[in-house]
Amino acid sequence: MPRILIVEDEMKIARFIELELAHEGYEVAVSGDGRSGLEKVAAWKPDLIVLDLMLPRLSGIEVCRRVRQERDTPIIMLTAKDDVSDKVMGLDMGADDYMTKPFAIEELLARIRVLLKRRARAGGGAEGGVLRAGLLTLDTRSYAVAYGDTPISLTKKEFDLLRYLMERQGQVVTRDALLNDVWGYEYAGDTNIVDVYIRYLRTKIDEKTGVKYLHTVRGVGYMLRHEE
């Protein structure tokens, strides 16, 4: 039975989510502030965290950052804000998904199922947990990326995007597929966020190594293949 931790200071919202998750068969715990939430993560080791952005004692962003230093537990961030900069900040700190209040509980449940399924099959398809494209390597266990002996520092979302593309080397992947599978939900707005993160990867990988890995297929999407 998967364990889900809710870190939310609005108790009515927390209780509502708790009851719905319990009804779905999950084991649920609730923390009302960031510091106690972080302590609960360490002690209880949840399989997924539903994390509010605005929390007393320790912000959701800071909780997310500290969790990511220790573990890869899926995190869905909740916020009353609908600002793109807040979304990007949350994703850069390591959140796997993002929902703006108010939200439909059915959508939250669907996103939780997606992330738990992805976690369950994590590591599949990589020999010894390592994906390779030429001299570029990605270790799915240690979250390490390198070109030859040179480490490449990526954010959690950059890592997830690169991993997805490396698992599909030589295949064209649409923006919609990237939004659904990497960001974890049906994105109703502009797909520009995919282009932004592809640009981040090109800056950190293609430009630094001098090898073209990330290719644009106009009108379709992106493909990863290496050209020495």
Order across the sheet with 48-52: list the strands: 27-31, 3-7, 48-52, 75-79, 97-100
Higher per-residue pLDDT: 53 or 88: 53
Q: Name the residue among 181, 163, 150, 98 with its Cα closest to residue 124.
A: 163
pTM metric for this prediction: 0.58
Q: Domains in the chain and their CATH numbers?
A: 3-120 (3.40.50.2300), 130-227 (1.10.10.10)
- Averaged pLDDT, 125-137: 74
Q: Distance from CA of residue 58 to its chain's centroid? A: 21
- Rounded CA gap, 207 and 222, in Å? 17
Task: Count Cβ atoms within 10 A of the Cβ of residue 202 and give its class: 0-12 exposed, 13-18 middle, 19 or more buried.
Answer: middle
Mean pLDDT (the chain) is: 86
Residue of higher predicted confidence among 90 and 76: 76
Q: What is the pLDDT of residues 166-200, one digit of tens each?
A: 988 888 999 888 888 887 655 555 568 899 999 99
Instruction: For residue range 158-167, list pLDDT tens digits in order.
Output: 999 999 999 8
Instruction: Identify residue 173 by its one-letter amino acid code.
Output: V
Q: What mean pLDDT do residues 135-140 have?
A: 89
Q: Read off the tokens for 177.
A: 């597929």
DSSP3 helix / strand / coil % (the chain, rounded to 5): 40, 25, 35
Question: Which one, of 180, 173, 178, lies nearest residue 215 by Cα?
Answer: 173
